[in-house]
Amino acid sequence: MSILKNINGDRGIWGVFLLLALISFLPMYSASSNLANVIGIGSTSGYLMKHALILVLGFILLYLIHKIPYRYFSGSSVLLLPFILLLLIYTISSGTTIGGATASRWIRIPIVGISFQTSTFAGVILMIYVARYFSKRKDTKIEFKESFWKLWTPVGLILLAILPANFSTAALLFLSVVVLSMLGGYPLKFIGKILGMALIALTLFIFVGRSLSPGLRAKTDTWKNRIINFQDKNPKDDYQVEKAKIAIATGGMFGLGAGKSVQKNFLPQSSSDFIYAIIVEEYGLVGGIVVILLYMWLLFRIYIVAKKAKTVFATLLVIGVGFPIIFQAIINMAVASNLIPVTGQTLPLLSSGGTSIWMTCMAIGIVLSVSATKNDKDINEQLDDENPLDVLYEAVD
């Protein structure tokens, strides 16, 4: 019971986190049998133990972060941003090439022997920085030139460093920054300019990259083929999506039962990108809806924390690091259901992968930090007059 006394913050978020973590073991154990029995890499018990270790380390990270007063994250983002940029550049330069395409998403940490995906860490730090920028300018008029250099230049550099290896993550981050900017009071006419500049920059990146780098040419071909395959709905050209659709279709109302998935033996990414299809196949429509409801409940609790936050920075911080978790979950489930093209986004806390789980825990820890310090006297002495979510209410009314 002493542990429970030291756990602070929104109880609903704690509950959803623990439920998702516990639920993840059964589909992870089942889906990993594809790697162990079909491909012949490792063992199912080994993958399960690894997943358990990752979740334990994630819980420790979440617990430690939720104990830090949220105001300290503001200055830390400024200090970490240059380091993150250098880390991303190092990741690209030290990455390997697979089939002619760049696979520079991970770096290996020699001491502990694990791989670390730098783009997910960069995303959390970037959203904190953006929240800080707008909280610092809540009482001043935002000028486009000033915002271009102090906001969009750092954002652009980070996204440019992520883009060659992970287009979907870069796109998701850019969308999150735009949404947070709108909530932070950034003028819509400036948003239009930024969107236009981003489109031009992406076009130039594709054309210049294709002409200079065979790896980038292969990568952009992959982007194009995924969109074409999605539009054409050709099963022969989109093997993974077709197997995911079969898994979902055969799941029925209550599924085939725990561990009885058939398509896990054919889906190369059954334990990560397409784990939602395995969940629906084994636990049916009921299981799939339960997972969706858990993420919706997490979204609702994040919204409540943001609404109750007493400072602009706290509100924007919660939205900036919390909402992308839900965006990522929706994207993953939409890909498995063939509603959007394949993106390579994992299902937060349910898919395999250390970095993804740890960064989700880090983001949830930050949200819990905000909810845990809402009655802190030092924080309340620095209250802001207006909550950005109140502006939305006024706009709707």
- Which pLDDT belongs to residue 42? 61
> What are the beta bridge partners of residue 115?
108
Structural contact between residues 128 and 76, judged by C-beta atoms closer than 8 angstroms: yes
Q: What are 148-179's pLDDT values in tens digits?
A: 999 999 999 999 988 887 888 899 999 999 99
Tell me the per-residue pLDDT of 62-108, one tens digit each, with 9 for 90 and over: 999 999 999 999 989 999 999 999 988 888 877 544 333 344 566 66
CA 261/CA 287 separation, integer angstroms? 14
| pLDDT > 90 in the chain, percent | 44
Q: What is the mean pLDDT of the chain?
A: 82
Chain segment 317-342, per-residue pLDDT in tens: 999 999 999 999 999 999 888 888 88
CA distance 240 to 84: 33
pTM: 0.87
Quote the domain boundaries for residue 9. 2-396
The dihedral sign for the CA sequence 48, 54, 55, 56:
positive
CA distance 111 to 182: 42
Number of domains in the chain: 1
